[in-house]
Amino acid sequence: MAEIILTIVVEVVKCLAPPAYRRICYLRKSKYTSNLQNLKTEVDNLKSERVRTEHQVDEAKRKGEEIEENVENWLARANNVIEAADNFTKDEATANKRCFKGLCPDLKTRRRLSKEAERLKEAVVNVRDARRFDRISYCTAPADIRLISNKDYEPFESRMFTLRNILSALEDPDVDMLGIYGMGGIGKTMLAEEIARKVKSDKLFDLVVFVEVSQNQDIRKIQGEIADKLGLKFHEESESGRANSLFKRIKAEKKILIILDNIWENLNLRVVGIPHGDGHKGCKVLLTARSLDVLSGKMDSRSNFSIGVLNEEEAWNLFKKMAGDYIEGSEFQSVARDVAKECAGLPVSIVTIARALRNKRLFEWKDALEQLRRPYATNFKDIQPTACKAIELSYNKLAGEELKNIFLLIGYTAISSIDALLMCGMGLGLFQGVNKMEVARARVRTLVHKLKASCMLLDHISKSEEFFSMHDVVRDVAISIASTEKIALTATNEQVDGFRVWSDESAVKRYTSIVLQDIKTNVLPEVVECPQLKLLFICADKESSSLTIPNNFFKGMIQVRVINLTYMNLLSLPSSLGFLLNLRALSLCYCKLVDISVIGGLKKLEILCLRGSDIKQLPTEVGQLTWLTLLDLRECRKLEVIPPNVLSNLSHLEELYISCRSFQKWEVEVEGVKNASVEELKHLPNLTSLELDIHDVNTLPRGLFLEKLEKYRIRIGDWYWESTNIWRREFRLRLNNKICLKDWLIVQLQGIEDLELRELQEQDVNYFANELAKVGSSELKFLRIHGCSDALNPPAESKV
C-alpha cells in the first residue's frame, strides 16, 4: 500500500513541479531497481574489457615488452571503480529496509542508494569509454647482464687508483676515446665491467653498451649486439645500411658510453656505425686490449691505462679465497704461499691453481710447486708464461681422462652449449658405458659443473645453465695442449689462406681433429688423407662465404665419427660422404641444403642435426637411419615435407626436436605427397625427449603420449608461445570452439611441470578442475589458465 501511495505522489509532483520531480524520483522502487540493474550491467561490461586488456598485457610481458603508462593507469582506475561498485551492491538489502512494522519504506536510504547507483554507473561508463589505446606496450632495450652487480668482482686496492683515473677521464670533455691494456688474464674485462656499473649507477651516462669484439672480428655481429642493447631493429641487409641506422640511433642519445672489449686489431668505428669525436661529442668509447700498440697505434686512443699484476698481499688473499682459508695457520701455509708467489700476481693463474689444489694433500701441493718452478716455453704473445704454466698444471690436475678430453674438446672447438657438447661427446664415444642420450646429457652437465668448479669454465653471460664459456687465455692453452699432443689442428680464415699443411700429408695424418673457423674462401683440397681423423669442424664465415666442399673431400677420412659443417653452401652433399661408414654424428647447422639423400647410406649414424638449415624436404632415405637416436629439425623455416613413415621407422630415436619456426604441415598434401602424421610419434618406443609445435589443433592425436617422455616442450595451437632456455616438462595448448579438453586430451598431470591452457570453455574448466583434484601429488610447478570471458574471469597464472 505504501508503494502505491508513493507512486501516486511522485506522479502528481511530476505533473505539477518538474524540478522537484527530479529530486524525488529516486524514491520510486522502479527507479532504484533500474539504477541498480544498469550499474550491474555496466560493471559486467567493464570487467570484460578489463579481462581483455589483462590478456593483452600478459602477452606483451611474455614478449619482454614494457606496458604503456596510460594502460596501467586505466587498469588501476578500472580496478578501483569495480571494487567500489562491488562494495556498493553488497548494501542492496539496505534499500529494502522497512520501518513502522514493514508498512513504510526507508525513503531516505533508498534515495541515497539510488543516486549513488546512478553516479557509480556513470563513473563505470566513463572508465570504459576511456579505454582508447594506440598500443598496449612498447619494446625496450633489454637489461645488460654485465651491468648487474657481480659477486665475483674483487675491489683490489691496487686497481682502485686506475679505476678512479678512468672515471675522471670519462668526465673530461676533451676525451672521446680511452683504453685499458694488460696481458691476457690480468682482469681487463672485470675492470671494464665494474666501470660500466659505476658510471651507470652514478648517472655519468644516459646509456652504457658493453660489447665483446674478440680476435676474429665480425662487423655484423658487433652491430647486432650494439643494436640489441639499444632496442634497435635493423631493416637493412648491408653492413653500410646497418651502420647508418646505428649511427643515427647512437646520435639520438645525449650521453652514451660504448665499451668494446678484447680488441686485437684496428676496428673502424665508422664502418660499425659508432659516431665519436666531432661526429658526436656525447658518445665516448672505452677499449680493452692486450697491448698498448693496439690502442695507440691501431685505434689512435691517446688516453690509455695499464693494469698490472696484483701485489703480494692481494694475490695471497685471492689465493686463500679460492683454495680455502684452511691453508692459513697450518702445515700448508708455507708451501701455499710459495705456490701463490709463483702465480706472479696474475688473477687467472691464481684462480685456476688455487682451485686445482683445493683440498689436496701436502705432497700434491709440493709437486705443484716444483712444476710451476720449471721453465715453460710459450709462443703466445701478450700471455705471461706463468699463466700458461698455471693453466696447464690445472689441466693436469683434472680428475680422469674423460674430464681432460672434454676440456680440450671445448677449447679447440669453441663449443659453448650443452647440446653441442653432448652431440660431439656421444659421436666420439667419450662417455664410457653410456648408451642413452638422457644419461649422457646428465654426464655432460656433471662434467661442465666440475670444470666450472675448477675455474676452467665460466658461467655464460646469459646465466643459462644450457650454455657456458671459457676464458680466452684458458682456451689458448687448451689449443696449445691439443696441438702439442697432435690431437687437434685448428685454424682461422687468415691462417688457412695459403694453408701448406694440406700438402704436408705426414703432418695432417697425425691429427685426430681438424677445426677450421670463419672460413671465407674455397681452400679445401679435392682429397685429404686423414686416416686417424675422428672429428671435423668447418665453420664458414656467415656473411661472405662462398665455401663449398669438393666431391671427393671425405674419401681419405674413413674413420671420422663427427662432422660439423656450419653456414656452408651444400646444395648437394658430396658423394664421398657416403663412404663414412663409421660416422656417428652429422651436424649441418644453418647450411644451404637441397639434396641430402646420400646420408641414407650412413647406417651407423646416431645423431643428425639440421638446425637452422633451409632444407625444404626431408628425404625418405632418413628413414633408413634406424640407429638414429637424436634428430634436430629446429628453426628449419623452409621445411614443408616430411614423407609418411620416415619418422616412425626411426625405432631407436630418443630425442626429436621440431620447433615453432620449423615444420608445420602435418598431414597436409604438398606437391602430391601427403605429409607425416603426428600419430607416427606414438610408434617410437624409445622416445624420451620431444620438442614439438603444432599449429592445427585438429591434427592432435587422441590420447597424448606424454607418460613415457622424460623431457618435453609441446605447444599446440596457433599462438605466440613464450620461449625459454629452461628445460621443463612443458605443455601448452590453445583449444578452439569445436574441440573440448575432455574429448581430445588425456593430460598426464602427474608428469607435467609447466602447463598452459588457452581458450577454455566452461565444460573444460570443470573437467580440468576435477582432473587436477584427482592427481593430488602432481609434479605441476607452473600453471597458466586463460579462458573465454563467459567461462573464466581474469587469467589464472601461478606458481604451484
pLDDT tens digit string along 259-280? 999 898 899 999 999 998 777 8
The arithmetic mean of pLDDT across residues 22-50, rounded, is 71
Q: How far apart are CA 591 and CA 577, in angstroms?
A: 16
Of 103 and 318, the one with more pLDDT = 318
CA distance 552 to 577: 8
Q: Tell me which of 382-386, 402-406, 461-465, 611-615 is least confident.
A: 382-386
User: What is the Cβ-side half-sphere exposure of residue 42, based on CA atoms within 13 angstroms?
Assistant: 24
| Residue 113 reports pLDDT greater than 90 | no
According to DSSP, residue 297 is labeled: I
Pairwise CA distance, residues 620 & 612, whole Å: 20
Q: Determine the pLDDT at residue 561.
A: 96
pLDDT at 102: 46
Is residue 613 scored above 70 in pLDDT?
A: yes
In this model, does residue 282 exceed pLDDT 60?
yes
426: closest CA among 451, 444, 400, 407? 444
pLDDT of residue 610: 94
What local confidence, expressed as pLDDT, does residue 117 receive?
A: 76
The C-alpha atoms of residue 577 and residue 599 are separated, in whole angstroms, by 7
Identify the band that residue 706 occupies on the pLDDT scale cut at 50, 70 and 90. low
Q: CA 529 to CA 505: how far, in whole Å?
A: 7
pLDDT given at position 333? 85
Q: With 60 as the cut, is the pLDDT of residue 393 above it?
A: yes
3-state helix, strand, coil in the chain (%, to 5): 45, 15, 40
Q: What is the pLDDT of residues 420-468, one digit of tens each?
A: 999 999 999 999 888 899 999 999 999 999 888 777 888 887 778 889 9
Q: What length does the chain have?
A: 800
> Rounded CA gap, 649 and 56, in Å?
43
CB 617 within 8 A of CB 593: no
User: CA torsion sign, 228 to 229 to 231 to 234?
Assistant: negative
Give the per-residue pLDDT at 159: 85
pLDDT number for residue 771: 67
Quote the cell numbers at residue 574.
Answer: 658430396
The larger pLDDT score, comparing residue 303 to residue 109, is at 303
pLDDT band at residue 794 using 50, 70 and 90 as cut-offs: very low
Identity at 706, one-letter amino acid code: L
Per DSSP, the three-state class of 750 is coil
Judge whether 170 and 204 are in contact, CB under 8 Å.
yes
Q: Residue 525: what are its φ and ψ, rounded to 5°?
A: -75, 170
d(CA 487, CA 470): 19
For residue 323, is pLDDT > 80? yes
Q: Which residues contact 158 (CB under 8 A, 6 or more apart)?
A: 308, 310, 311, 314
pLDDT top residue among 748 and 644: 644
The three cell numbers locating residue 514:
681438424
pTM of this prediction? 0.70
pLDDT at residue 421, rounded to an integer: 96
Assess contact for 533 and 582: CB atoms under 8 A. Answer: no
Name residue 506's beta-bridge partners: none
CA atoms within 13 Å, Cβ hemisphere of 610: 29
Q: How confident is the model at residue 496 (pLDDT cuts 50, 70, 90)?
A: low
pLDDT, mean of residues 17-39: 58
The pLDDT value given to residue 773:
66
SS3 402: helix
The answer on pLDDT for 47 being more than 80 is yes
Highest mean pLDDT among 57-61, 446-450, 526-530, 744-748: 446-450
pLDDT at 704: 60
What DSSP letter does each residue of 465-506 carry, written as one string?
A: TTBEE--HHHHHHHHHHHHHTTSEEEEEHHHHTT--TTT-HH
Distance, CA of 772 to CA of 750 (rounded, Å): 9
**Is residue 536 within 8 Å of residue 412, measured between CB atoms?**
no
Residues 6+ apart with CB under 8 A from 180: 162, 166, 188, 191, 192, 286, 287, 288, 289, 304, 305, 307
Average pLDDT, the chain: 80
Whose CA is closest to 729, among 701, 680, 693, 691?
691
Nearest one of 355, 364, 387 to 452, comparing CA atoms: 355
Cα separation, 169 vs 257, in Å, equals 12
